[in-house]
Amino acid sequence: MRAALHPVRTPLCRLRLLLALLLLGAGCGAPPPEVDLVGRVESASGMPMSGVLVHAGDTLTTAATDGSFAIPGVRVPYTLTVASTAGDGWVHAFAGLTTATPVVVPLRNEMPLLQATISGDAWNGNPVPAGYRVSICVEGLDFTVWGCDFAVAGETSYSLAVNWSGAAAANVRVHALYMAIDGDEHPTGYSGARHLDASVTSGGTTTVDLGPLLVIGTPPLVPITIDAGNGTVVVAIVAVRMGDRLLQPIYRGAWPGGSVDVRLPPALMADTYQVTAWVQFPSGQLGFAWSVADAGAAVDLVVPPPPNLLEPASGVLGVSPSTVFRAADTGATARVFDWSATGTTVGPDVLLTTSGTAASLPDVGAVGLSYPAGGAYDWQVLSLDAPDFAAAVATRYDYYGLLGVGGAGQLADGAIVASESRDLTLAP
């Protein structure tokens, strides 16, 4: 029978052949998928960081004028490294990314600030009445600017420092909120508001006279709670969104603890608000935490604890890229390992953002930098809380805004809390 010449067609032989094929392919996993990256590098204020170096895979490129970059054929997950060789240089690597459209905000992104002054009458040329205060802020109409202050009882005028980076001039809108306050300077009602457009030039002074125009009334009280754990609230800021690029403070000062009832402007003036706490912990660590809520909604802000460093110990010698740095897991979304040159050491500051609790010194040679032999560094870990890892690497840690002097603010709840700092010496 011819069928005997084709044993592979029998059920048993088919099973044997299938098993052989499976065993043959068991050690040949599929290669990781590749993505073509089209991303953007932004500063803490949302400005594009043009000219910085960007590296991923085997490709080194430079961010364009709008902060954008494109790198084809990168295997995921990947590490995206952003760097500057200006001065001693800095490097910020973002490990474990998977998106094809990354937006990253390096923490070493200080940009030169330009400054102008806006001044004028605060209350139609009259002194601010007793029991009242005026919150005055400036909003950039084309990009983020910073500048906020309070005119207090007895003052007839104000003078506001306006800060921004980039262009030599800025189109702005001056927002003034006129509020009644209690003995603890918490708002108890609003008598009016004013919004006036102006333009400022670096080094110049612009006059904008203010006075109540729109009567707001007395909105209901909103309970706000800040739980700092074993930390102390150094400054608390309650700020309302007055524009796309402005969170305007209505309260900035000490926090008595527990729940405090605060009156916010009604939703027709500000549909969301942000509560920010600047906290110091017993060992000296600092942290910021913030919560974003709809107007009229209560806020219960919980400040996460600082991360504890596990290894290496302070004073360790001979650190190299093979040295493992570890921090305790506090449940944070991400961690930033931060190595900063100290003393007379000439070398780059280096940061690595990861979702893990362990890290090693990232490769800086791909961006044209190197670690100084025998260099002295300090290291610490910053824990980041955000809705997810992609949001963590894109969070704008705008320290001006977190300190309550305007800026665009945050779009979601978050925190950044620092560990203690330890010193080390690099291998010779």
CA angle 88, 94, 100 (to 5 degrees): 130
| 407 domain residue, yes or no | no
| 316 domain residue, yes or no | no
Q: Cα–Cα distance between 330 and 383 in angstroms, integer?
A: 8
Give Cα 239 to chain centroid, integer Å: 17
- 158 lies in the same domain as 230: no
Q: Cα–Cα distance between 265 and 270 in angstroms, integer?
A: 6
- Write out the DSSP string of 81-108: EEEE-STT-EEEEEEEE--SS-EE--SS
pLDDT at 256: 82
Distances (CA, A) of 342 to 80, 313, 378, 419: 26, 17, 7, 17
| 257 domain residue, yes or no | yes
Q: What is the token pair recorded at 41?
A: 């590098």
Radius of gyration of the chain (CA): 27
Of the residues 104, 123, 142, the one at which a domain ends:
104
Query: How many structural domains compose the chain?
Result: 3
pLDDT tens across the length of the chain (428 residues)? 334 433 333 443 343 433 333 333 444 456 678 999 999 999 877 788 899 999 999 999 999 999 999 999 999 999 999 999 988 899 999 999 999 999 999 987 656 689 999 999 999 889 999 999 999 999 999 888 889 999 999 999 999 999 988 789 999 999 999 999 998 888 888 888 889 999 999 999 999 999 766 666 667 788 999 999 999 999 999 998 888 888 899 998 888 877 888 888 865 566 788 999 999 999 889 999 999 998 888 999 999 999 999 999 999 999 999 999 999 998 999 999 999 999 999 999 999 999 999 999 999 999 999 999 999 999 999 999 999 988 888 877 766 666 667 887 887 899 999 999 999 999 99
CATH code for the domain in which residue 251 is found: 2.60.40
pLDDT at 32: 76
* Residue 90 domain boundaries: 34-104
pLDDT at 66: 92
pLDDT at 277: 92
pLDDT at 270: 66
| 356 domain residue, yes or no | no
- 273 lies in the same domain as 190: no
Q: Which helix (H) or strand (E) holds 191?
A: strand 187-201
Helical residues (DSSP H) of 241-394, grouped into ranges: 389-394
What are 189's strand-pairing partners?
Answer: 180
pLDDT at 231: 92
DSSP 31: P
Q: Cα–Cα distance between 428 and 425 in angstroms, integer?
A: 9
| 39 domain residue, yes or no | yes
**Sign (positive or negative) of CA dihedral 406, 408, 414, 417:** negative
- 118 lies in the same domain as 172: yes
Q: Which helix (H) or strand (E) holds 274?
A: strand 272-280
- 74 lies in the same domain as 128: no
pLDDT at 398: 65
- 232 lies in the same domain as 286: yes
Q: Cα–Cα distance between 315 and 321 in angstroms, integer?
A: 17
Q: Cα–Cα distance between 185 and 132 in angstroms, integer?
A: 9
| 136 domain residue, yes or no | yes
- 182 lies in the same domain as 255: no
Taken as a whole, the chain contains a residue count of 428
CATH code for the domain in which residue 59 is found: 2.60.40.1120
- Amino acid 110 reads E
Closest by Cα among 216, 248, 264 to 406: 248
**Sign (positive or negative) of CA dihedral 32, 34, 73, 391:** negative
Q: What is the pTM of this model?
A: 0.84
DSSP 19: H
Q: Cα–Cα distance between 331 and 383 in angstroms, integer?
A: 9
| 17 domain residue, yes or no | no
Cβ distance 160 to 119 under 8 Å? yes
| 57 domain residue, yes or no | yes
- 236 lies in the same domain as 196: no
* Phi, psi dihedral angles at 229 (to 5 degrees): 60, -130
- Write out the DSSP string of 196-241: EEEEEETT-EEE------B--B-PPEEEEEEE-TTSEEEEEEEEEE
75-97 in b/e form (b: 16+ CB < 10 A) is eeebbbbbbbeeeebbbbbbbbb
- 97 lies in the same domain as 124: no
